[in-house]
Chain A
């Protein structure tokens, strides 16, 4: 077979999954090619120009700790940083940032172009070349063939993508970009179970036509919290976002025109995410709500485009213009790009190993939206894992996986390969039983060593991490400082919390009292010591202490409840022999094929009696 070029790893797709995969594979020492339809759109954000949030922000910090790139890119291009859930405990806080969409692309491409071993190639992949159930390369539309030991498919919403606006629909992977149809056909031909999902995006408006005074500003944080552990400060100028609302007139108009919506007319078959509903969905499902919130998000300092978050829609373009003008503040607003819905193919992620390799074709890895997830962050972490493993496999090294107990990435992969998806999968902190342990600020503690061992974390970052560790240990010891009545700071402490204190109290105990936040505790430290740690170090040290009791108790409870979880279920185990299972349950078990008792336990509908019965047969 003749190949025009050859690489260790080929990554198909230049989106968030593809970029992480290509960057990681190359830095692990594998010769890597990133193949994309359009080099100018590498790192393009398809809808909301934002990174992070609860759950998603956690993923980005984990990606960064492992040596991935998303965190760095957003830190250099974010224009409104906010730490969410500031008033709550650190385990549920998470960073979020609006991005300058154009800058993000540019920065992402610049990062990739500066990566050794990585080659960018423009082209449309039409065929996967497979011999004896093993991938050996890809073929492009322009007939070039590229050989690869391993391939990562990260095609996002492009597989058989179909765009809907009103009654119109046409093939497209994204507005203005063609779909990928031959590759979709190849995957089907190879026997992969393929389903259909949908997602949507709202219209973009021209900022010059908006009456900004009609909206409430949402300012950025005074002290932005960066995503990457390597970022010391955010340098870009920040800006406000704004909050607006729909109204009943708007709702009524939508109701009258529901037949124009491809979802409600039945034209769209794919399932959309419940947590990213179109405006039509919102009005139909929550008819008593008289107004829905909208976020008005400028897309950058040097563009007029504004993203109307919360108004995802596939109603006809003309109608969108009419609807938008019904919103207070948008009376004169003009739509630059209309919103639309997009349907696309995805592959059942139960086809994958915990390393994101398909069980069907060795050397073939799938990452991102193709696995049924939604969100840039969800895609990126899969890209990172797949890229790592594609490189490790090509280089003859042992594969790498993450456990759900130590990372949200682990939770995501485990959920996908165990349960499959009924709707686009998005990360929520409630998906993890170990939420208290998986904080955004301890991602480095949990994962940086893995990144270093793999070879993705360079010397500079590793040194920085070790310094932070030392500072953390120091901060922890500082928290044990006891203040006694004779101490000069005792009075300040007492006034801070507004309560009487016992004769001696440690700073850690003090932190449990009202008003005693990290900043205040910082001020109680002697100058010589305060200068040795950062406020972030102190916050992490406090958080560790806050949760440690809960984590110990939880561990004991979970161990008691889940004691048999690690019991393995043999691959050919027959469920039809078990007496107390309904036929439906047996079918479900045979489809899911849980690998362990713990996985079986989590399958919806499993009764305690059925589990007991399964247990008996497992131990016999």
Chain B
């Protein structure tokens, strides 16, 4: 046994399942079980599935009812104590449970780390692991999981400016410490504070943009847009399954945005009904229209709705041009009407990059509802992700970023307090190390190199 800490990961693909299995391996497994089930003296019988309520021990909130199974090391997958929680498959529930486990002395597993421990503890041969491919796929540069690999490469690129900025700040402070007798420009504390704030903002924004994270926390956002009276609210209600928005014949009636969570095949979605996009002199309307544009801009997917029973108007043209560059589905409504004629929209050159699909629907009859739902999910089809794949990679990056941000926050506080630089530098170096776990470590030599190319040192 060469490890001392406990790791946790989601072992099932997210989103499409009725069951989500969370696996925990390490010395804290049994304690975590006791805390999650609020049974401090619980002595689980190994290899037995038991139905238990899972609670958040800090708030008392019940998170789920799950089948739990405890495996006593060394007779487990990893050779350590292993706890499996067979929860309901809702990503929101799973995320909540994992968040709690992270507070109970476990950390997110690195890709393939369970298999790593299994190999380390002699529970599995390296060749077996290689045969399974989990390990190699998760560990190597030539990772088969395209999304994972792409994501890591993309994230490294995205992090580069932040990392460079951090190194610059470190270089500045290290130089002032180490070369106190050289004629260096004085360190402007306020400048450092400003740079640290920018850095924190940048990293925080990045941490938020992990689409999967947002997917699980807030749900996929889908905005329904279109000119007034194409039937957005009706379609909204159709998808919602019950009446919600105010539906009338008068154009411009929905003056606000309305959002509602729905569930399509287990994927949580926030559906947004927007005010009709059109030119308007009405102040309230204009505000609503601006907000529409904002929602459309932020949404993960836009459903652009058109009235198929009439020719395209100028306003329809505006809608089309506005969604052109965004991921969108075209929904041609009112297929129940006699004058319905979708041509022009179905035939129009579909820009493959942004238009997912075109469907015909009728809010009145619910015709085409399934096609629409399938079209909405299409861009988020994650295919065959590895068991510990996309979700964990993102979560791992998110975790590392969060830790880096924490370190930067404490360093910034120290700079404000005019603390001596060596204290500030502790947090900055830690932050750099956390980022380095994503992008690769910056060595002392590289740091020194930067110092000497920036400043003329020489006594």
Complex interface: chain B residues within 8 A of A469 (CB): none
B177 near A609 with CB under 8 A, answer no
Complex interface: chain A residues within 8 A of B3 (CB): 563
- Quick check: is B445 within 8 A (CB to CB) of the other chain? yes
- Quick check: is B136 within 8 A (CB to CB) of the other chain? yes
B181 near A84 with CB under 8 A, answer yes
Residues of chain A in range 394-444 having any CB-CB distance to chain B below 8 Å:
419, 422, 428-431, 433, 435-436
16 examples of A-B residue contacts, CB within 8 angstroms: A92-B178, A277-B456, A286-B456, A292-B456, A310-B458, A428-B448, A435-B422, A580-B139, A606-B440, A606-B441, A608-B436, A616-B116, A616-B119, A619-B116, A620-B119, A620-B120
Residues of chain B in range 420-459 having any CB-CB distance to chain A below 8 Å:
420-423, 425-426, 429-430, 433-434, 436-441, 443-449, 452-453, 456-459
- Quick check: is A492 within 8 A (CB to CB) of the other chain? no
Q: Which residue of A lies closest to B433 (CB)?
A: A561
Q: Which residue of B lies closest to A312 (CB)?
A: B458
A616 near B422 with CB under 8 A, answer no
Give Cα distance in the complex from A154 to B116, angstroms.
47
Give Cα distance in the complex from A605 to B439, angstroms.
10
The minimal Cβ–Cβ distance linking A316 to chain B, given in whole angstroms, is: 21
A88 near B420 with CB under 8 A, answer yes
Given A428-B448, A604-B443, residue A92 in contact with residue B141 (CB < 8 A): no
Residue with the highest number of chain B CB atoms closer than 10 Å, among A84, A310, A557, A601: A557
Give Cα distance in the complex from A433 to B119, angstroms.
31
Complex interface: chain B residues within 8 A of A430 (CB): 174, 177-178, 444, 447-448
Complex interface: chain B residues within 8 A of A557 (CB): 430, 433
Q: Give the 3 A-B CB pairs with smallest separation, nearest first.
A: A89-B420, A619-B120, A620-B126
Chain B residues within CB distance 8 Å of chain A: 2-5, 107, 110-112, 116, 119-120, 125-126, 129, 135-136, 139-142, 152, 174, 177-183, 419-423, 425-426, 429-430, 433-434, 436-441, 443-449, 452-453, 456-459
Q: A275-B458, A430-B174, A603-B443 provided; 20 other pairs, C-beta below 8 A?
A: A55-B178, A92-B422, A274-B448, A274-B452, A274-B457, A275-B452, A277-B457, A285-B453, A286-B456, A292-B456, A429-B177, A430-B448, A560-B107, A561-B434, A608-B436, A609-B139, A612-B110, A616-B135, A616-B139, A620-B126
Complex interface: chain B residues within 8 A of A214 (CB): none
B459 near A616 with CB under 8 A, answer no
Q: Which of A91, A422, A563 contacts B422 (CB 8 A)?
A: A91
Give Cα distance in the complex from A212 to B90, angstroms.
81
Complex interface: chain A residues within 8 A of B439 (CB): 608
The minimal Cβ–Cβ distance linking A273 to chain B, given in whole angstroms, is: 9
Complex interface: chain A residues within 8 A of B136 (CB): 579
- Quick check: is A466 within 8 A (CB to CB) of the other chain? no
Give Cα distance in the complex from A277 to B174, angstroms.
19
B119 near A310 with CB under 8 A, answer no
Q: Which of B112, B119, B129 contacts A612 (CB 8 A)?
A: B112
Complex interface: chain B residues within 8 A of A422 (CB): 445
The minimal Cβ–Cβ distance linking B451 to chain A, given in whole angstroms, is: 8
Q: Which of A89, A295, A429, A554 contacts B459 (CB 8 A)?
A: A295
Complex interface: chain A residues within 8 A of B441 (CB): 601-602, 606
Q: Which of B110, B426, B440, B453 contacts A436 (CB 8 A)?
A: B426
Q: Which residue of B lies closest to A50 (CB)?
A: B459
Give Cα distance in the complex from A346 to B181, angstroms.
29
A309 near B459 with CB under 8 A, answer yes
Give Cα distance in the complex from A554 to B431, angstroms.
12
Given A282-B456, A563-B5, residue A54 in contact with residue B142 (CB < 8 A): no
A608 near B182 with CB under 8 A, answer no
Give Cα distance in the complex from A226 to B363, angstroms.
88
Q: Which residue of B lies closest to A620 (CB)?
A: B126
Give Cα distance in the complex from A601 to B437, angstroms.
11
A285 near B119 with CB under 8 A, answer no
Complex interface: chain B residues within 8 A of A608 (CB): 436-440
- Quick check: is A3 within 8 A (CB to CB) of the other chain? no
Q: Which residue of B lies closest to A87 (CB)?
A: B420
Give Cα distance in the complex from A602 to B440, angstroms.
10
A289 near B456 with CB under 8 A, answer yes
The minimal Cβ–Cβ distance linking A88 to chain B, given in whole angstroms, is: 4
Q: Which residue of B lies closest to A286 (CB)?
A: B456
Give Cα distance in the complex from A282 to B141, angstroms.
42
A92 near B421 with CB under 8 A, answer yes
Given A92-B420, A275-B457, A550-B423, residue A607 in contact with residue B141 (CB < 8 A): yes
Give Cα distance in the complex from A536 to B200, angstroms.
40
The minimal Cβ–Cβ distance linking B322 to chain A, given in whole angstroms, is: 41
A89 near B422 with CB under 8 A, answer yes
Give Cα distance in the complex from A85 to B178, angstroms.
9
Complex interface: chain A residues within 8 A of B119 (CB): 616, 619-620
A554 near B426 with CB under 8 A, answer yes
- Quick check: is A249 within 8 A (CB to CB) of the other chain? no
Residue with the highest number of chain B CB atoms closer than 10 Å, among A286, A430, A563: A430
Complex interface: chain B residues within 8 A of A561 (CB): 433-434, 437
Q: Which residue of A lies closest to B418 (CB)?
A: A514
A89 near B444 with CB under 8 A, answer no
Give Cα distance in the complex from A286 to B458, angstroms.
12
Complex interface: chain B residues within 8 A of A563 (CB): 3-5
B448 near A615 with CB under 8 A, answer no
Residue with the highest number of chain B CB atoms closer than 10 Å, among A92, A276, A579: A92
Residue with the highest number of chain A CB atoms closer than 10 Å, among B141, B180, B422, B429: B422
The minimal Cβ–Cβ distance linking B79 to chain A, given in whole angstroms, is: 11
Give Cα distance in the complex from A620 to B419, angstroms.
46
Give Cα distance in the complex from A281 to B459, angstroms.
13
Give Cα distance in the complex from A277 to B445, angstroms.
17
A609 near B452 with CB under 8 A, answer no
Give Cα distance in the complex from A89 to B107, angstroms.
34
Q: Which residue of A lies closest to B4 (CB)?
A: A563
- Quick check: is A617 within 8 A (CB to CB) of the other chain? yes
B116 near A615 with CB under 8 A, answer yes
A580 near B141 with CB under 8 A, answer yes
Complex interface: chain A residues within 8 A of B129 (CB): 616
Give Cα distance in the complex from A550 to B421, angstroms.
13
Complex interface: chain B residues within 8 A of A609 (CB): 139-141, 152
Give Cα distance in the complex from A557 to B422, angstroms.
17
Q: Which residue of B lies closest to A289 (CB)?
A: B456
Given A612-B112, A616-B135, A619-B120, residue A292 in contact with residue B433 (CB < 8 A): no
Complex interface: chain A residues within 8 A of B422 (CB): 88-89, 91-92, 429, 435-436
* Chain A window 293-309, contacts with chain B (Cβ cutoff 8 Å), 1 for yes, 0 for no: 10100000000000001
The minimal Cβ–Cβ distance linking B114 to chain A, given in whole angstroms, is: 12
- Quick check: is A613 within 8 A (CB to CB) of the other chain? yes
Q: Which of B116, B423, B434, B444 contacts A431 (CB 8 A)?
A: B444
Given A91-B422, A580-B142, A608-B440, residue A285 in contact with residue B456 (CB < 8 A): yes
Give Cα distance in the complex from A569 to B182, angstroms.
42
The minimal Cβ–Cβ distance linking B94 to chain A, given in whole angstroms, is: 24
Given A84-B180, A612-B139, residue A604 in contact with residue B446 (CB < 8 A): yes
Complex interface: chain B residues within 8 A of A91 (CB): 422
Complex interface: chain B residues within 8 A of A431 (CB): 444
Give Cα distance in the complex from A245 to B423, angstroms.
33
The minimal Cβ–Cβ distance linking A180 to chain B, given in whole angstroms, is: 28
The minimal Cβ–Cβ distance linking A602 to chain B, given in whole angstroms, is: 6
Complex interface: chain A residues within 8 A of B420 (CB): 88-89, 92
Residue with the highest number of chain A CB atoms closer than 10 Å, among B116, B125, B178, B453: B178
Q: Which of B178, B183, B429 contacts A292 (CB 8 A)?
A: B183
Give Cα distance in the complex from A422 to B444, angstroms.
13
The minimal Cβ–Cβ distance linking A315 to chain B, given in whole angstroms, is: 16
Complex interface: chain A residues within 8 A of B426 (CB): 436, 550, 554
Give Cα distance in the complex from A554 to B411, angstroms.
13
Residues of chain A in range 371-407 having any CB-CB distance to chain B below 8 Å:
none
Complex interface: chain A residues within 8 A of B448 (CB): 274, 428, 430
Q: Which residue of A lies closest to B136 (CB)?
A: A579
B126 near A293 with CB under 8 A, answer no
Complex interface: chain B residues within 8 A of A560 (CB): 5, 107
Complex interface: chain A residues within 8 A of B452 (CB): 274-275
